[in-house]
Amino acid sequence: TDLRPLDILSEAVPAGGLARGMRVFQVQGVRGFQLSSSRPRALGFPASRLFIHCDRFPEEFSIIVTLRALRGPAKRNEYIFTLMVEESPGVLVGLRYAPDKLHFLFWSQERAGGCQTRVTFPNVSLADNQWHTLVLAVSGQSFSLTVDCSVPKDVVVETPFPASLSVRRASFYLGNRRRRKGVFTGLLRQLVLLPGADATPRICHAVNFKVATLSVPSVLQDVPAKPVSNEVLKYPYETDMKVTLGARPRCSKQEKTQFWFNASRRGLYLCNGSTWLSMLEVLKHLWDGYVETKRPMSCQKYWRPLRGWQTQVSMSSGLWWDTWPSHPTPSLALHPTSPCIFLSMLLREEKTKLCWLSLFQIFLAVANFEQNERGQEFSVIYKWSRRKAKFIPYQRITTHSARDWEAFVIEGEAFLAVVNHREGNNHNIDSVIYRWNPRTGLFETNQTIPTSGAYDWEFFTIGPYSFLAVANTFNGTSTKIYSHIYIWLSGSFQLFQSILTFGAADWEVFHIGDRVFLAVANSHSYDSGMPAPSNFYAINSSIYELNITAQMFVKFQDLLTYRYL
């Protein structure tokens, strides 16, 4: 038996580039194809290109898939791939998923004329915006599914997979069944057929099981990470390849939308497929064109929290390049493959945060500390009305002596976190992180985090990792309490490190060269069971530095401060 992996996904990619209806995106440091629903047949190819010496589908085999499925409606089914005979609506072999199950389809010839057979694996959650690797092993009546190298799910059915399934005049279709309904909307990284063997042992030896690889198209392969002695946390390709440095690289169709920083001229250049263009000229040209036409633009929604002045460039792969100019200039976000240009000037007032939702949609969240005249306690998110030329109330959220809002983006999703200081005399309460739901158009509760008289959130990123630090101030008896730093893992914030603070009122993160610092402003030292010091408002505030080896923040310096509050 020929055990050579048959790379279905690579076969669909032309040697000179991408097929029509294919785009490459990178999420969580991993590349994948996004497939278009407009031309399903364009994402197909004859099965004879894989089955060169025999027109029969293997009797025993494994199918290996790496995908990132989007959250969708509960009843929605999407096809990962199908094998279909020309002019026949039946599926010879196929794989489709629903939010909580996976279906393997094959054409059985036990009955006269043949019939469609479906093998269902229940309780398989794939539609969670995370990468997953599936290994489906088929042998006769036995079907085994392994997700992310976990415990296999075994199913035995009455109808065995056919011993001789002809693929003559059949074609593979990626992400569809030759029609627009049920088209795969996520990202597809790996789709491999391994005849005659269970591929699980060959897959489940990788470090990251969710993106374990047997064979992927060359355009999706990761560039080996460069060994860097002072690397912050060790992060993958996503951040390493935002900008190419060094001598002038080549600029061809493969490098299109890539950036090159010319150190000698201190300039940033964008590859348009043939020539390196100065970003200053690109932005000026786009802005001039927009001013002249002022035409409506159809753009994808990009979330990005804005603080101060910054320049943002969004590449087609979903990466960002940031720079902080020495002089204030309008903030700009550009998507090179669509006519979207965002210009903004940030108004930052005390205890408010501003966040772009999409072009011409601006939200302003206000943290209310006290109840209103009716005894109601809530904070308000306002939306900018172009018609009225002012902010109008958009959403009310119940809060408890709210002290701060923090707006941020993780993996393309927008979040808004509120710090609840106390409820009545109880300082030990939950603060809440809200996630934007584009279907309802509202911020909805995503996670609660226990806090103690908290004053401030601070969101920051290091490489591909996202962190959220909370400044805990008072637990009801003492200001000598731990403040916490959380890291985003598997769809939620999890505790990363706890640091002893004294009435912490604020966190700030900053960088000096390649070094990452985190500073806490302590307000005062108080303990109800201890006599008050002569000047308990004079206290050290501390600066911590990220220790790469220990992968934690360690104290770098103390500074004498006098009551921050």
Handedness of CA 416, 131, 179, 144 (dihedral sign): negative
Could you tell me what percent of the chain has a pLDDT over 70? Answer: 74
- Please give the residue that has the higher pLDDT: either 349 or 74: 74
Average per-residue pLDDT in the chain? 77
**Rounded alpha-carbon distances, angstroms, from residue 413 to 303, 337, 359, 446:** 7, 20, 16, 12
Confidence band, pLDDT 50/70/90 cuts, at residue 245: low
- SS3 assignment, position 54: coil
Confidence band, pLDDT 50/70/90 cuts, at residue 111: low
| Cα 544 off chain centre by | 28
Handedness of CA 245, 250, 251, 252 (dihedral sign): negative
pLDDT at position 291 is: 40
Q: Which residue has the tokens 């772009």?
A: 356
pLDDT at position 14 is: 77
Indicate the CATH number for domain 341-562.
2.115.10
Judge contact between 483 and 471, C-beta under 8 A. yes
For the record, the structure tokens of 214 come out as 């047997």
pLDDT at position 526 is: 80
pTM over 0.85, yes/no: no
Amino acid at 341: I
Q: Which residues contact 70 (CB under 8 A, 6 or more apart)?
A: 127, 129, 185, 186
| Domains 6-218 and 341-562 are alike in CATH topology | no
Average pLDDT, stretch 455-466? 92
pLDDT at position 283 is: 55
- SS3 assignment, position 240: helix
Asked whether the predicted pLDDT for residue 288 surpasses 70, the reply is: no
| pLDDT digit string, tens, across residues 332-381 | 333 333 333 333 322 323 233 333 333 346 888 999 888 877 778 889 99
- SS3 assignment, position 62: strand
For the record, the structure tokens of 518 come out as 């985190």
CATH topology (fold) of 6-218: Jelly Rolls (2.60.120)
Judge contact between 165 and 106, C-beta under 8 A. yes
Q: Which residues of 378-397 are buried (b: 16+ CB within 10 A; e: fewer)?
A: ebbbbebeeeeeebeebbeb
Of the chain, the end-to-end C-alpha distance in Å amounts to: 74
Confidence band, pLDDT 50/70/90 cuts, at residue 188: very high
Q: Which residues contact 351 (CB under 8 A, 6 or more apart)?
A: 366, 367, 403, 404, 405
Please choose, from the candidates 477, 518, 476, 484, the residue with its C-alpha nearest in 3D space to the C-alpha of residue 501: 484
Write phi, then psi, for 240 (nearest 5 degrees): -70, -30
Q: Domain limits of the chain?
A: 6-218, 341-562
Range among 284-298, 363-377, 528-542 with highest mean pLDDT value: 363-377
